[in-house]
Each structure stands twice: as C-alpha cells, then as structure tokens.
Structure 1
Amino acid sequence: MHPDLYAAALQLLHEGAVIIEMTAAPSTYRIALGHDSVPIPGHVVQQLVAHRKIHAVCQVSGKRRFVLR
C-alpha cells in the first residue's frame, strides 16, 4: 500500500468525504467530497476498514457508503 494514498484518504475523510462502493464484484470505490469524486484503490479502503478508521453506514441504490469512525 502507498502510505501517501492512505494519508490523503484519511485527510479527506476528516474534511467530511465519504467513500462509495461503486461495484461489489470486483470491488471498486470512489472517494467523494462535495460534488467532486475520484477513484480510490480497493486496497486503501480495505486498510482503512482493517485499521478501524472507517465503517459502512448505509447502502443507497446498492452502493455501500463508508465514513470516518
């Protein structure tokens, strides 16, 4: 994992961003803040979940959303 991506994702989450699971198989994600969003590698999301930094809060239109704990 690239530590800069992890740190950047955490900073955006602290600023109010959410991570959206776009597809389940294969898992693809986007990190969104306001009206802007960019792809985020799945391994970064999995590390954030494993380190208990984020958790799933809801599922909208089949897409899980993750926010900072």
Structure 2
Amino acid sequence: MPANFLKHSTHGGRPPRFDRCIYRSRNVVERCFNRLEQWRGLATRYDTTRESYQAAVTIASILLWI
C-alpha cells in the first residue's frame, strides 16, 4: 500500500476498506437529498419556522414517493 494511503486512511481520508452494502445505503440517501433539493423552497430554506419547513419536506417526500 502506498504511504500516502496509510497516512490518510485513519485521519479522515479514504476508508481503509470498502463495504458495498453501506455504500449502497449511503448512495440512496444522497440521491434522496439531491432530489429534495430540486424544490426551490427546500434548497433555499424560505420557510421561517421549523414546522413549516418540516411540512414542506414531508410534502415533497410524498410527491417524490408517489
């Protein structure tokens, strides 16, 4: 293994091993966030209260799920 890989693997660099199942789950979550950010109000956080923002996220999630 290159010395550069060993130097960064324990300090926030690439993980020392690759777990395909964990990566697949992470990919699903990241794609979901990317789809939700296509909604302008969610991406720029126009809603001023926590409740209205949570409602907007819920509505957008339901519409994406349908």
Higher relative contact order (CA 8 A, sep 6+): 1
Do they superpose with TM above 0.5? no
State the TM-score, normalizing by the size of structure 1. Answer: 0.26
Q: Which has the higher helix share?
A: 2
Q: Which has the higher strand share?
A: 1
